[in-house]
């Protein structure tokens, strides 16, 4: 099946679902690792169109959700310093740290500013030469090129009052970590198309071969996802394990080399702690030695990675695909977007937020 604009209809969705049902002879469990895909799946009921034998589970596809508590706490500590200005994307404001969040810090008087691009943070630094301006650089590979360019430009201009608190993470090591976890039940993956638009998918080919799982690079519209599921199930039914590119209108095998070059110049691969996933080797980006003077951890002290205790919240289990949001006893009662217990309900891309918005309000339910 080939994606076309005219296929964006309910009939086309049913045709894909019927095609999946025809080729499925045994149970399969697929995981998407993109918050945008998760929201599309829940919003449009894609999982409910599929045959009972094909299950979709949600992985750590929200970069806000996997940002560790220790980095939120460091951002809060920096924001509390006299003369400091912390710049961040809006989706980080309500992400909980140990005792507070950036929204509450701003209400108490901290100078926390929402920006829509890291280059806006450079403007803030230029306009406030007497203040330390820190940009909270969070995200998957999709945000890394723009964040790297901001660092490059700051170094080039000699902006001595600008630095970045870096919590960039890389998706392929997380995929490997999930496959290597005890009790792993993932048969195949839908890879995030926007990530692969930057990185390409050569690294996923190594994962597919080593772990013998099919991986389909997939877009974000309902028909993209259904086609991704079809391709993945087709491989599984034939005993194949390769990478396919459903999202060829935006993704090439080598990816965006110009974006990769600026990332490679400014960042280096480092180990990283993931909220809900723990310590994953070579799963993050940190500033390269040539740009270390612009590292907020150099100026304000290193972030200490510590074991996180979720308490009642099951967001860690949700991020690992072990629990559906609506299986949490607190979901929709003690935990809501306005009064959340965990990050997967706070973040706009979180799986719990998707279930609350689309399944609870509609009175729907997910399959067991």
Question: Does residue 186 register a pLDDT over 80?
Answer: yes
Give the residue-averaged pLDDT of 149-167.
97
Token pair for 238: 């034939």
Do both 74 and 164 map to the same domain? yes
CATH, residue 59? 3.40.50.11750
- List b or e across 267-288, with b for residues whose CB sees 16 or more CB atoms inside 10 angstroms: beeeebbbbbbeebeebbbbbb
Label residue 306 by pLDDT band (50, 70, 90): low
| Phi and psi torsions of 98, nearest 5° | -65, -45
State whether 210 and 335 are in the same domain: no
pLDDT tens-digit profile of 24-78? Answer: 999 999 999 999 999 999 999 999 999 999 999 999 999 999 999 999 999 999 9
Q: What does the pLDDT average to over 149-171? A: 97
Which pLDDT belongs to residue 363? 39
Is residue 170 predicted with pLDDT exceeding 50? yes
- Output the pLDDT for position 307: 59
Do 295 and 234 lie in a common domain?
no
Residue 94 within a domain: yes
In a domain? residue 365: no
Tens digit of each residue's pLDDT (9 = 90 or more) over 83-104: 999 999 999 999 989 889 999 9
Both 182 and 73 in one domain: the answer is no
Record the pTM: 0.92
Q: Establish if 305 belongs to a structural domain.
A: no
Selection from 62, 75, 69 nearest residue 140 by Cα: 62
Q: Answer yes or no: do 114 and 143 share one domain.
A: yes
* Per-residue pLDDT, 310: 61
Asked if 274 and 226 sit in the same domain, the reply is: no
Q: What is the DSSP string of 306-358?
A: -----TT--HHHHHTTSS-GGGSTTBTTTB-SSS-SSHHHHSTT-HHHHIIII
* Residue 144: domain span: 64-170+256-300
Q: What is the DSSP letter of 185?
A: -
Element (H, E) at 53: none
Note whether 124 and 163 are same-domain residues: yes
Position 44 in a domain: yes
Query: Does 279 fall in a domain?
Result: yes
Residues 285 and 157 in one domain: yes
Question: What value does the mean pLDDT take over residues 123-136?
Answer: 98
Q: How confident is the model at residue 10 (pLDDT cuts 50, 70, 90)?
A: confident
> Which pLDDT does position 298 carry in this prediction?
95
What pLDDT is attached to residue 11?
85
For the segment 271-289, the average pLDDT, to the nearest whole number, is 95
- Name the residue among 190, 319, 178 with its Cα closest to residue 251: 190
pLDDT one-digit tens code per residue, 194-221 = 999 999 999 999 999 999 999 999 999 9
Q: Is 112 helix (H, G, I), strand (E, B) or coil?
A: strand
| Number of domains comprising the chain | 3
Measured distance CA(325)–CA(270) in Å, rounded? 31
SS3 state of residue 245: strand
Residue 306 within any structural domain of the chain: no
Residue 250 belongs to a domain: no
Are 193 and 44 members of one domain?
A: yes
Is the residue at 368 inside a domain? Answer: no
Q: pLDDT, tens digit, for every residue of 229-268?
A: 999 999 999 999 999 999 999 999 999 999 999 999 999 9
Same domain flag for 87 and 139: yes
Q: Which two tokens stand for residue 27?
A: 């149970």
Q: 1-35 in b/e burial notation, b at 16+ Cβ within 10 A?
A: eebeeebeeeebbeebbebbeeebeeebbbbbbbb
The count of other CB atoms within 10 Å of the CB of residue 289 is: 9
pLDDT at 161 over 80: yes
Average pLDDT, integer, range 166-195: 96
Q: In what order do the strands lie in the sheet with 28-32?
A: 54-58, 28-32, 188-192, 215-218, 243-245
321 pLDDT exceeds 60?
Answer: yes
Q: Are 87 and 121 in contact (CB under 8 A)?
A: yes
Q: Are 50 and 82 found together in one domain?
A: no
CATH number of the domain enclosing 280: 3.40.50.11740
Q: Residue 360's pLDDT is what?
A: 75
Query: What per-residue confidence (pLDDT) applies to 2?
Result: 47
Q: Does 147 share its domain with 264?
A: yes
Which of the four pLDDT bands, split at 50, 70 and 90, describes residue 309? low
């Amino acid at each position: 099946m080939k994606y076309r604009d005219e296929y964006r209809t309910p009939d086309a969705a049913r045709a894909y679902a019927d095609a999946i049902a025809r080729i499925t002879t045994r149970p399969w469990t697929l995981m998407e690792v993109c918050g945008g895909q998760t929201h599309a799946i829940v919003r449009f009921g894609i999982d409910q169109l599929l045959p009972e034998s094909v299950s979709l589970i949600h992985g750590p596809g929200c970069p806000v959700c996997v940002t560790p508590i220790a980095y939120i706490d460091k951002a809060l500590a920096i924001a509390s310093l006299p003369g400091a200005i912390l710049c961040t994307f809006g989706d980080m404001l309500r992400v909980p740290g140990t005792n507070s969040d950036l929204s509450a810090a701003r209400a108490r008087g901290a100078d926390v500013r929402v920006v829509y691009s890291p280059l806006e943070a450079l403007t803030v630094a230029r306009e406030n030469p007497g203040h330390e301006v820190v940009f909270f650089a969070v995200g998957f590979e999709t945000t890394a090129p723009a964040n790297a360019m901001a660092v490059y430009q700051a170094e080039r201009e000699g902006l001595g009052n600008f630095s970045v608190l870096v919590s960039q993470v890389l998706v392929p090591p997380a995929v490997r970590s999930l496959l290597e976890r005890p009790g792993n039940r993932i048969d195949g993956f839908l890879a995030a198309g926007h990530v692969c638009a930057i990185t390409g998918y050569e690294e996923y080919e190594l994962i597919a071969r080593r772990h013998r799982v099919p991986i389909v690079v997939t877009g974000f519209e309902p028909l993209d996802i259904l086609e991704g599921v079809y391709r993945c199930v087709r491989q599984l039914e034939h005993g194949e394990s390769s990478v396919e590119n459903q999202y060829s209108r935006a993704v090439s095998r080598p990816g965006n080399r110009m974006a990769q070059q600026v990332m490679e110049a400014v960042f280096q691969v480092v180990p990283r702690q993931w909220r809900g996933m723990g310590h994953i080797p070579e799963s993050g980006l940190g500033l390269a030695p040539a740009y270390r003077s612009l590292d907020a951890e150099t100026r304000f002290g290193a972030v200490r990675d510590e074991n996180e205790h979720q308490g009642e919240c099951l967001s860690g289990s949700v991020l690992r695909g072990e629990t559906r949001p609506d299986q949490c006893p607190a979901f929709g009662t003690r935990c809501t977007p306005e009064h959340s217990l965990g990050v997967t309900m706070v973040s706009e891309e979180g799986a719990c937020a998707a279930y609350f918005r689309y399944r609870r309000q509609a009175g729907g339910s997910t399959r067991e």
